Structure 1
Amino acid sequence: MSHEPVDSVGILVPSGMLGAGFAEATVERGLALGADVIAVDGGSTDSGPYYLGASTPKTTTAQVAHDLRILLKAAARADIPLIVGSCGTSGTDSGVDWVAGIVAGIQAEEGLALDVARIYSEQDAGTLTRHLDAGRVHPLPPLGALRAETLESCTHIVGMMGHEPIVAALEAGARVVLAGRATDTAVAAAYPLMKGMPAGPTWHASKIVECGGQCTTNPRAGGVFATIDAGGFTIEPLDPTAACTPDSVAAHMLYETADPFRMREPAGTLDVREARYSAVDDRIVRVEGSRFHTADQHTIKLEGARITGYETMSFSAIRDPHILAHIEEWAGLLRTVIEQRVKQTLQLPLGSYEFDIRLYGYNAVLEELDPAVGPPREVGVMLLVNAPDQDTATAVAKVANPLMLHLPTPDMDYLPSLAFATSPAETERGPSYEFVLNHVVDSPTPTAMFRTVVEETKRHG
């Protein structure tokens, strides 16, 4: 790919996540504005550890294929690269291959011939243990020192790449880059950095566009378009009914960051303390003054998940005013009686299983952080059981079943009837996962921990 100097680079970001959907007209508008690259994130850890632990995408094939068909045709027509990061939600190797399979099918159907790069980011526990033994693995708060057993316990581990492996794939001739786990910003930053745009404005613009329309006055509007040049960048929404304002753009530095003025990337730190946000007009914002400080040591963040047990869930609803007036006492009684009945009937002491009672409509979301005041009108009671195997989890939930349907408070002289949401009441959720890694590795080179395959695609039809 050519490295001829350019004055600016236009980035088209159609949505915050591949598969979320967007209007095709917004992509056409982005092409008309002069897009040089299309970049979109394919995943996140926002939805919890299951998708990494099980290596399962959050989105359906139909969702991803809908978006990719529009983007692949647009990239081919405009002769610009398409970059997707964190494929398959968590960026595992199978997630990359899943998206690559969808791309191959669309190319065959549409008669396209775009060369595709797959960048794999899964990490081997044995290799990471050697890094650990050599002192190259460091914890991030709140975790402490890593143990080799923790690495071995993970079902999947990914390293979060920066822009460098993506640039290498583009330089190798790829027109479509399907990356494993990557920082949201690296997906957008790779092409402009390759074209010589300054690091400060590039990383700042990439942070602002990462979630699509979230930096606009209408978060549902979909895509955004950023133009990066030597002095800064401009940003505007692709939906004509939405607008970017200095406040909406600046506010996005608060999103998913511990420090609203600094954000760490594998290669260094974005610094926006001196950034200035100004309105170009009623829809477009100009940003100048962003800086990027290159780190002395390039680091790759690790994400890993492991199985914590197997879950069974049941859900009942309470409308009885007497129980609702004493809901905390009732929930405490429910917990006590469940423990007693499980010990009596299953001979299982607490500790060989766990369960959680969540009172939705009362305090299930924030619990003691935001105590309820006064009795609620109705409450949904969710029982979540975790045990070493699925049969045990379901057995505990079944022991709890009659209690979640008819348990009275001690002073009630009648048997209440509560309401299960489903029949059967117990829903087996399968293995439950937890994140166990929040560590970085000193990487010998920015690309050393990743594997790239570039495939030439023959034109079909």
Structure 2
Amino acid sequence: MSTRVLVPSGVLGLGFDRAALSRGLGLKPDIIAIDGGSTDSGPWSLGAGESKYSRAATKSEWRTLMQARAEAGVPLIIGTAGTCGADATVDWMYALTAEIAAELGMTLKVARLYCQQPAERLVQALEAGQITPLTPAPEISADALRAMTNIVALGGVEQVQAALATGADIVICGRVTDTATIAALPLARGDHAGAAWHGAKIAECGALCSTNPTSGVIMVDFDTTGFTVEAMAETALCTPHSVSAHMLYENSDPFQLYEPGGYLDVRGARYTALDARRVRVEGSTWVPGAYTVKLEGARAAGYQTTILAVLRQQHYVTNAQIWADKLHAYLTGQITERMGLTPPDYTLEFRLIGTNGALGSLENRTGQPVEVGVLGIVTAASQALASEIGKLINPFVLHYPLTEDEELPTFAFPYSPATTDRGPLYEFALNHILALDDPMSAFRLTVSEVG
């Protein structure tokens, strides 16, 4: 048995080469699989239960893929719908699908895999010893679980296979591992287990495993001894280097990858160039183990207001960190004097963009920028409080002098008002695994017709 999986892009909403997609369709894939999200951009999407990608971009690309599915006559599947895979984003993706189906005059069977976890279910699992921390992981309790806005479990191939087994034209998955949607069909059809998982890992980000990462589209052929990967864009090549290097991507161990029910071991993998475009991989192994699924959760950790100013006077650019430290100390005193607040009632942070805005104290590069952006971040228990502190610090961020014996400086606010209320701040609050006797026991599957 062999299985051909077409992967249009690393994620829906990022774009792909339409000509390459057409070329892939011409090779008659057995399934079209694409990812819908990840935790790459931080906890906001999971905390809020919203997609980070624009609705317009998502709809445009999904419409193209729905038309491609109709042309190929094969299932179309998306994993981690709406960036985070919460129930709300699965429903968002389902509504888009129904809308497009109506516009195109399609009648489709759609399966939805829901992966969100009720807090009370996890409280019972915690008390039963079925939840284990990974490293690192925060301490959790029943109250901590109940305080989280959204919790999802990462499904594997078993949950995806159950959705495909419904005969659905389109499968919309909540949070699943990046590899699950690609490996599910090859494994169900009896292809080599190590190859299925390894090929899925290589293909998870589309053409990132090629010499032209932005082209998006790749094809993976799975069989009983290995897999072959080829980029579909004319300008993209898969080489042993580009393919093998992807095991390093988002993976702490370049030789092992843990998934629900075991782990992939690629220490024996051999990468062979079949020609300038294609790479053949054999020798990967799948090691079965206890069936666990990873848990991801987010909770509100306060509310934020930001303020942005720009230092351009050379005296201040040169001494930006000294100025920011003095300003921070002064404002801490002012907030105490005028509002009666002290940390941890709030936090105030200044990041110097152009100096150490990304790495803070870990920055080891030096240089002299023309200007330095000063980003002030206020975090407090309510938006009203964060906003009030933002207004209090506003005039000092605009005029505060470096020394007492110089003229009062004026810095630049790039927009007005200078402060922006960002709303709730979310943080990740789970890095644990949940043991399951039945892979479907923590997941829900719904099948319906649209169009």
Question: What range describes the TM-score normalised by the shorter chain of this pair?
Answer: over 0.9
Residue 369 (structure 1) shift: 2.0
1:9 is matched with: 3
Counterpart of 1:315 in structure 2 is 308
**Corresponding letter in the other structure for 1:137:** I
TM-score (norm 1): 0.96
Q: Deviations over 1:402-448 (max 9, x none)?
A: 11111111265111111112100010000000000000000121111
In 1: Cα distance, 2:228 partner to 2:371 partner: 49
Aligned residue for 1:445, secondary structure, equals coil
Structure 1 letter corresponding to 2:81: C
Structure 1 residue 343 displacement after superposition: 1.4
Partner Cα distance (1:142, 1:413) in 2: 49
Q: Unaligned 5+ residue runs, structure 1?
A: 1-5
SS of 1:419's partner is: coil
Specify the SS of the correspondent of 1:420: coil
1:302 equivalenced with 2:299 (yes/no): no
1:357 maps to a residue whose letter is: F
Name the CA distance, whole Å, in 1 between partners of 2:60 and 2:321.
Answer: 47
The AA in structure 2 aligned to 1:360 is I
Q: How does 1:154-233 map to 2 (within 5 A)?
A: 154-233=148-227
Of 74, 78, 81, which residue of structure 2 is paired with 1:84?
78
1:373 aligns with 2:366: yes
CA distance in 1, matches of 2:139, 2:362: 29
Specify the code of the residue in structure 2 equivalent to 1:388.
Answer: A
CA distance in 1, matches of 2:52, 2:84: 9
- Give the structure 1 partner of residue 249 of structure 2: 255
Deviation at residue 287 of structure 1 after TM alignment: 0.8
Deviation string, structure 1 residues 257-307 (Cα, Å, up to 9, x no partner)? 010000000121011001111111111111111111011x10011100000
Q: TM-score, normalised by structure 2?
A: 0.98
Contact residue 40 and residue 84 of structure 1 kept, 8 A = yes
Q: Does 1:21 find its partner at 2:15?
A: yes
Distance 1:25 1:373, change over 3 A: closer
In 2, distance between residues paired with 1:45 and 1:107?
29
> What CA distance in whole angstroms lies between the structure 2 residues aligned with 1:311 and 1:247?
44
Question: Residue in 2 aligned with 1:425?
Answer: 418
State the alpha-carbon separation in 1 of the partners of residues 72 and 395 from structure 2.
63
The DSSP-based 3-state class of the residue aligned with 1:48 is coil
Counterpart contact for 2:207–2:231, Cα < 8 Å: yes
Contact 1:323 1:408 in 2 (8 A): no
- Please tell me the residue identity of whatever aligns with 1:322: H
CA distance in 1, matches of 2:404, 2:255: 57
Could you tell me which of 29, 37, 43 is aligned with 1:43?
37
Corresponding residue of 2:388: 395
CA RMSD, aligned part only? 1.3
Q: 1:355 aligns to what?
A: 348
For residue 240 of structure 1, give the secondary structure of its aligned residue in structure 2: coil
Please give the alpha-carbon distance, in whole angstroms, between the structure 1 residues aligned to 2:164 and 2:325. Answer: 59
- From 98, 123, 146, the counterpart of 1:104: 98
Indicate the SS of the match to 2:268. Answer: coil
Are the aligned partners of 2:82 and 2:92 in contact in 1 as well (CA < 8 Å)? yes
Paired with 1:148 and 1:259, the residues of 2 have a C-alpha distance of 32
* Percent of matched pairs sharing the same residue: 46
String of CA shifts for 1:355-380, please: whole Å, max 9, x gaps.
11100100111222223435433110
- Residues 124-163 of structure 1 correspond to what in structure 2 (within 5 A)? 124-143=118-137, 145-163=139-157
Q: Is 1:273 matched with 2:267?
A: yes
Q: CA deviation at 1:136?
A: 0.5
Deviation of residue 395 (structure 1)?
1.1
Q: Is the 8 A contact 1:236 1:284 kept in 2?
A: yes
Distance (whole Å) between structure 2 residues aligned to residue 320 and residue 411 of structure 1 = 17
Rounded to whole Å, the distance in 1 between the matches of 2:352 and 2:239 is: 40
Aligned letter for 1:308? A
1:28 Cα shift? 1.4
Residue 361 of structure 2: SS of its match in structure 1? Answer: helix
Q: Encode CA deviations 1:15-37: one digit per residue, 9 max, x unaligned.
A: 11112122322221111122110
Question: Does structure 2 retain, via aligned residues, the 8 Å contact 1:319–1:377?
Answer: yes
Partner residue in 1 for 2:326:
333
- Determine which of 383, 402, 413 is the counterpart of 2:406: 413
Question: Could you tell me how far apart the structure 1 residues matched to 2:75 and 2:368 are?
Answer: 57
Whichever residue aligns with residue 255 of structure 1, its letter is Y
- Paired position in structure 2 for 1:3: none
Q: Which amino acid aligns with 1:130?
A: Q
Q: Is the CA contact 1:138–1:439 (under 8 Å) kept in the aligned structure 2? A: yes
4+ long deviations beyond 4 Å: none
Kept in 1: contact 2:321–2:352 (CA 8 A): no
Q: Is the 8 A contact 1:138 1:145 kept in 2?
A: no
Kept in 1: contact 2:138–2:431 (CA 8 A): no
Q: What is the distance in 2 between the residues matched to 1:144 and 1:416?
A: 44
Q: Which ranges in structure 2 are unaligned for 5 or more consecutive residues?
A: none
Deviations 1:280-339 (A, max 9, x none): 1111111111111011x1001110000011100111010111122222211110101111
Distance 1:372 1:417, change over 3 A: farther
Within 2, Cα distance between the matches of 1:368 and 1:218? Answer: 35
Cα deviation, residue 74, structure 1: 1.4
What residue identity is the alignment partner of 2:62? L
How many residue pairs get aligned? The number is 451
